[in-house]
Amino acid sequence: MAGRSAAAPARIHRFTLTERLLHWTHASGFLLMLATGLILYLPSLSTWISRRNLVKNVHIWTAVAWAVAIACIFVLGNRRALLADWRDAETFDRDDRRWLTGRRARQGKFNAGQKLNVIVTVAFALLFALSGFFLWLGERDHTFLFDGTGTLHDTLTFVSVAVLVGHLYLAVIHPSTRHALRGITTGDVDEAWAARHHAKWVEAERASE
């Protein structure tokens, strides 16, 4: 926890460099694949851009770079922090179940909605990669051309856009949650803000000092 002074509010460390690097690597790869994927999906945009092949190559090579970059972050980065986040995200206690039914409940490092966002993001990343790989392979060898692969890839895209709009609203617009942006960029957040939104996490951090 950072030191306190009369002038500056107390800060608490929320995300390590590895967690922030993973978030922004995933987000930038995802947004580039979303933009190029939508150009491929919409015939009017494909004709307008008139370089479908180039867009398709950017889409596929971004996917390769994105997968390699994420693997490198896992191998070379702070795996302990990433695994702790994953364990936190996949565990739903009584407070989380209360929170999900719209009642007030004290939350840990991630609230129950954020836990669902982590799980959906990981599951979708795997499904995007799998369906994308079979779209690529199916073009080269028709044995691997399965009905529904394209539909799965497209459906994941539409659902992801809906989740992303909600995520961006909370991260940059909603007054009570947008302070979180500080954590995912600099690593630290205001301790009083964290105590209001993630009381159980702040208590655990204080206890481990």
* Binding-site ranges for ligand HEM (CB under 6 A): 14, 23, 26-27, 30-31, 33-34, 37-38, 40-41, 56, 59-60, 63, 67, 110, 114, 117-118, 121, 128-129, 132-133, 135-136, 150, 153-154, 157, 160, 164, 167-168, 171-172, 180-181, 183-184
Residue 109: which residues within 8 A CB-CB, separation 6 or more? Answer: 14, 85, 88, 198, 201
CB nearer to ligand HEM: pick between 77 and 150: 150
Beta carbon of residue 76, minimum distance to ligand HEM (angstroms, whole number): 21
Beta carbon of residue 6, minimum distance to ligand HEM (angstroms, whole number): 26
Beta carbon of residue 21, minimum distance to ligand HEM (angstroms, whole number): 13
Query: With the C-alpha atoms ordered 9, 13, 15, 16, is the resulting torsion angle positive or negative?
Result: positive
Beta carbon of residue 61, minimum distance to ligand HEM (angstroms, whole number): 10
List phi, psi (to 5°) of 9: -70, 150
CB nearer to ligand HEM: pick between 16 and 157: 157
Q: What does the chain come to in residues?
A: 209
- Residue whose CB is nearest to ligand HEM in the complex, by number: 132
List phi, psi (to 5°) of 137: -70, -40
Beta carbon of residue 100, minimum distance to ligand HEM (angstroms, whole number): 14
CB nearer to ligand HEM: pick between 98 and 152: 152
Nearest residue to 182 (alpha-carbon basis) of 15, 60, 4, 10: 15
CB nearer to ligand HEM: pick between 5 and 70: 70
Beta carbon of residue 48, minimum distance to ligand HEM (angstroms, whole number): 15
Please tell me the distance from the alpha carbon of residue 36 to that of residue 19, in angstroms, as a whole number: 26
CB nearer to ligand HEM: pick between 6 and 137: 137
3-class DSSP assignment, residue 188? strand
Inter-residue contact 75 to 21 (CB < 8 Å): no
Tokens, residue 63: 């996917």
Identify the DSSP state of 208.
T
